């Protein structure tokens, strides 16, 4: 079945630093979604990408849909404490979303 | 506008028991999906319902069943609970089906099986 691998698995950064993470797939997706999940909560949709090569921003977040359609990237600029959480990529298909393995972001005071 | 709501928020059950989880989608959304999230992993797809019909099913045993009501709310039932069913159960709603993108999740129901 489809697998989405995210890297890095976890990140420890200082407030104000920029963050980059990526997601790779064993198969092609026509849409990429990025979610953030905080402890005890459901995932929150951050950005949706619909076209290969597309670059989309949402505030300090920027995501890109890879040209091969097998990968996507998420960048967070000037991180702040509320950015802490687990970031998941997800790809739709066959009536479901397939989620990546997640990247846990921790901000060091 | 209210988001996706789920009830109860927490639940403790014993092995062998049955459980029913409830979900109300965002107003105007006709598609509801259920996911299971085990600690440390991403959500795993269980079911999708659209217009009261099952449109997709994940790799879960027949102990898991669901239904959607005329008001588009949904219930997930799990019979003969196992310890391994302990997880966060997430409900998501979306405007369209066929293309299951832009799903919006509720806060989840935390199920603990002892």
The pLDDT tens digits for A53-94 are: 999 999 999 999 999 999 999 999 999 999 999 999 999 877
pLDDT given at position B95 = 84
Q: Is there a contact between A92 and B101 if contact means CB atoms under 8 Å apart? A: yes
pLDDT given at position A104 = 97
Section B55-83 average pLDDT: 96
- The answer to whether the CB of B32 falls within 8 A of the CB of B72 is yes
- Who among B35, B42, B99 is closest to A92 (CB)? B99
DSSP string, B33-49: EEEEE-TTS--EEEEEE
**Over chain B, what is the mean pLDDT?**
93
Categorize the per-residue pLDDT at B2 as very low, low, confident or very high, splitting at 50, 70 and 90.
confident
DSSP annotation of A83 reads G
Rounded to a whole number of angstroms, the CA Rg of chain A reads 13
Residue pairs between chains A and B whose CB atoms are closer than 8 Å = 67
- Who among B33, B42, B102 is closest to A88 (CB)? B42
* % of chain B beyond a pLDDT of 70: 95
Section A97-108 average pLDDT: 94
pLDDT given at position A96 = 85
DSSP annotation of A53 reads T
Which of 37-96 (B) contact A at CB < 8 A? 41-45, 48, 55-56, 58, 90, 92
Q: For the segment A13-49, what is each residue's pLDDT rounded down to a tens digit?
A: 999 999 999 999 999 998 999 999 998 899 999 999 9
Q: For the segment B39-62, what is each residue's pLDDT rounded down to a tens digit?
A: 889 999 999 998 889 988 999 999
- Who among B35, B56, B110 is closest to A95 (CB)? B56
- The answer to whether the CB of A88 falls within 8 A of the CB of A74 is no
Distance from CA of B41 to the nearest CA of A (A): 6
Q: Is there a contact between A92 and B105 if contact means CB atoms under 8 Å apart? A: no
pLDDT given at position B97 = 57
Query: Which residues have a Cβ under 8 Å from the Cβ of B64 and sit 6 or more positions away?
Result: B46, B47, B76, B77, B78
pLDDT given at position B47 = 93
pLDDT given at position B5 = 97
């Amino acid at each position: 079945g489809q697998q989405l691998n995210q890297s890095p698995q976890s990140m420890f950064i200082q407030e104000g630093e920029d963050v980059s993470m990526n997601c790779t797939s064993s198969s092609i997706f026509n849409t990429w979604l990025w979610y953030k999940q905080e402890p005890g909560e459901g995932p929150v949709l951050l950005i949706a990408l619909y076209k290969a090569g597309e670059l989309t921003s949402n505030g300090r977040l920027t995501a890109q849909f890879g040209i091969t359609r097998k990968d996507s990237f998420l960048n967070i600029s000037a991180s702040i404490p509320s950015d802490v959480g687990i970031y998941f990529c997800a790809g739709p298909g066959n009536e479901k979303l397939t989620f990546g393995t997640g990247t846990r972001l921790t901000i060091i005071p | 506008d209210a988001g996706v709501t789920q009830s109860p928020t927490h639940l403790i059950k014993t092995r062998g028991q049955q459980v029913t989880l409830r979900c109300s989608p965002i107003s105007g959304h006709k598609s509801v999906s259920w996911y299971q999230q085990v600690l440390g992993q991403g959500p795993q797809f269980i079911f999708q319902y659209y217009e009261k019909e099952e449109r997709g099913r994940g790799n879960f045993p027949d102990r898991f069943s669901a239904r959607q009501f005329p008001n588009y709310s949904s219930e997930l039932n799990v019979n003969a609970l196992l310890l391994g069913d302990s997880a966060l159960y997430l409900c998501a709603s979306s405007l369209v089906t066929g293309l299951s993108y832009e799903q919006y999740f509720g806060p989840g129901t935390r199920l603990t099986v002892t």
